[in-house]
Structure 1
Amino acid sequence: MSIEAKLKELGVTLPTPGAPIANYVPCVRTGSLLVVSGQLCLGADGKLADAHKGKLGGEVAAEAAIEAARLCAINILAQAKVALGSLDAIQRCVRLGGFINCVPTYGAIAPVMNGASDFMVAALGDKGRHARSTIGVAELPLDAVVEVEAMFEVA
């Protein structure tokens, strides 16, 4: 089954990716690697929902942060599709890196990143299993609760 067919089965429509908000490019392809710049938890409308603004452990609930991480993964695949033309060029998700905007005392950030990891495996199957880093940070652009970056092996 193609990746796009799997996304359809999951009820996911990839949004039109947003343009970078600073001096960088959304993706870089070098050899057989595609590196996708950090993606925020923007919804299909290209906006950041109020539930996804602020700090985990403060104004943002864990469930909302998990959904935000999932949105980041959806936006990663949207960027990859633009860069590759077809998601079926993805051979493997090599790595995800997650940045969680949280209060300093919040320690349960790994389960939040599962929102992105679980989605990547659901969308790509075994090709979606990846190495991962997750860190808590003091701030993210637009006061987003989550940002996720990715690296793929591509054909």
Structure 2
Amino acid sequence: MTREKELDLSYKMTILFWYLASGAEMVSYQPILPEFLDSLGISQAHLGTLVSMFGLASMMASPVFGKIADKMGQSRLLVLTANLFSIAGHLVIINRRNLFSLCVAKILIGIGMSCDGCILGQVGRQILKSSRSRQFSIFLRNAPSWIDLLPNLLFRDRVVQLDRIV
């Protein structure tokens, strides 16, 4: 079992980057996915397929990430790996614009977004009992900010002008 201690700043920043990446997925194009598909000439009938790819990948990868995190006794490497999956998925969306590549991208992003249980498990395992509730409160309070607010600020011009950049 991992010894209790305060989480170091680099790990906190890794976790916050993970929340930022998941927010980028939610805010950058997800709200306008139907229009995005139309701009690529992809039928609206495939909208459900794309949305379900994300959920299926997350559902299948989450227990795998959890099992690996339990065996390793820490999740820092897994969170970094998840960030790389998410980044790779977004790069696929940027560079390839057909149905197959969008499905692959949603699978990669779904895998990348499936380590939230590992993050909370690590926080619960590692931090001091005296500050455990405070740390959970900080992460859970800040998650909506990183998921919704910051990516929206970063990507707002891109979202609004999507029809002009595609």
Return the index of the structure with the highest Cα Rg. 2
TM-score (norm 2): 0.27
TM-score (norm 1): 0.29
More relative contact order, 1 or 2 (CA 8 Å, 6+ apart): 2
